Copies of this chain bind each other. A is one copy, B any other.
Amino acid sequence: MSTGSPVGSHRVVSPAGALPQAADRLDPDPRIADDEVRIRVERLNLDAASYRQLHTAHGGDGDAIRADVRDIIERRGKMHNPVTGSGGMLIGTVDAVGPRSPLGLKVGQKVATLVSLTLTPLHIDDRLEQWDGRSEQVPTSGHAILFARSIAAVLPDDLPEHLALAVLDVCGAPALVRRVVARRADPATVAVIGAAGKSGSLSLAAARDAGAATVVAVVRDEIEDARLRWAHLADDIVIADATDPLRLARKVDKALDGRGADVTVVCVDVPGCEHGAILSTATGGTIIFFSMATSFSAAALGAEGLAADVEMLIGNGYVPGHAEYALDLIRGNAHLKDLFIDRVGEES
């Protein structure tokens, strides 16, 4: 094979002209193009929404779930759940590197892919027989292909694998928060809504790291409050329902002496948080929406209807250097690391 398309369109079988994510079917031919990388797959981490759908559809029958996933991969050449539209990530070892690959990977490195399985050519050769279908973690063997514009992170050897994966899964958030907070002319006030979760707690740490003046954590209840309190990641912790816009904004305002936040970060994965985030943000401020439950039109019409001069960013999961930055935040902050270990639990 010669050089491929950097975005992998040469691997699309159908429909013609589509990008890999939009394609029905990819070609997982193990022969790589000059700018591709082949990974020997060890484990798939199915996206939580995808696994939940499969579990429900098959009434929790592990054998049926396994057969369905096998069928999807064999039919589509990728693990792209046609119902949820989501995929997940995979872990494996670099098996072959094309001479013109720009990813900087070396044969033998253990990596996690940071682009979705929905666009990653994948072939399995064990019929998923190592998996009982009862968990999102799918031990398997086979191969996957990375394109020139893919992203993979080398797993660090100083952190437990499950901890590193949990961090890498959300590593776009802290990198974008750092960028937005750091570029403001004056030290910013920052509110993180949904601050007790993975992307939320990393966002708190990134805001501090970027020189925020004040960091306010918004959490759902006393349990999350207690969990965050001993981690010392925020200047103030506020308990509020993110879907109740007026109360949320009042509490954030109060924590910030009557002004809204200069930067508001939304990490709550439930619908209906757009208006609360808009009202919690100061004039001239920026909102970063990381939640996939965000409604584009609710945000756009909401800001207009509230005459809110705020800038609203769609949380892009890719920022150069995002994986290393997120891992460094964990390495440099024992409280944050403990919070993550507490979340990933016995797995690590």
Contact = CB atoms under 8 A, between A and B. Distances in A.
Contacts of A299: 296, 314
Contacts of A126: none
A211 interface: no
Interface stretch (A16-24, A26-34, A54-62, A191-199): A16-24
A247 B279 CA distance: 40
A294 B151 CA distance: 25
Interface string A278-315: 01000000000100101111011111111111111111
A9 interface: yes
A317 B304 contact: yes
A258 to B, nearest CB: 14
Chain A interface, >50% SS class: loop
Interface in A149-178: 149-151, 172
A165 to B, nearest CB: 16
Contacts of A131: none
Contacts of A312: 313-314, 316
Contacts of A11: none
A99 interface: no
Interface stretch (A67-75, A113-121, A223-231): A113-121
A292 to B, nearest CB: 5
A316 B311 contact: yes
Nearest to A116: B305
A89 B292 CA distance: 30
Kindly name the residue among A20, A246, A289, A299 whose own CB sees the greatest number of chain B CB atoms within 10 A.
A246
Contacts of A150: 307
Contact of A309 (B17, B309, B310, B319): B319
A115 B304 contact: yes
Nearest to A291: B296
Given A21-B301, A292-B296, A297-B292, A7 B279 contact: yes
A4 interface: no
Given A312-B316, A320-B309, A19 B304 contact: no
Nearest to A12: B246
Interface of A: 5, 7, 9, 17, 19-22, 85, 114-116, 118-119, 149-151, 172, 244-247, 275, 279, 289, 292, 294-297, 299-320
24 contacts: A5-B246, A19-B246, A19-B275, A19-B306, A20-B305, A21-B275, A21-B302, A21-B305, A22-B275, A114-B304, A115-B304, A118-B301, A289-B296, A289-B314, A292-B300, A296-B296, A301-B317, A303-B316, A307-B318, A308-B318, A309-B318, A309-B320, A310-B316, A312-B313
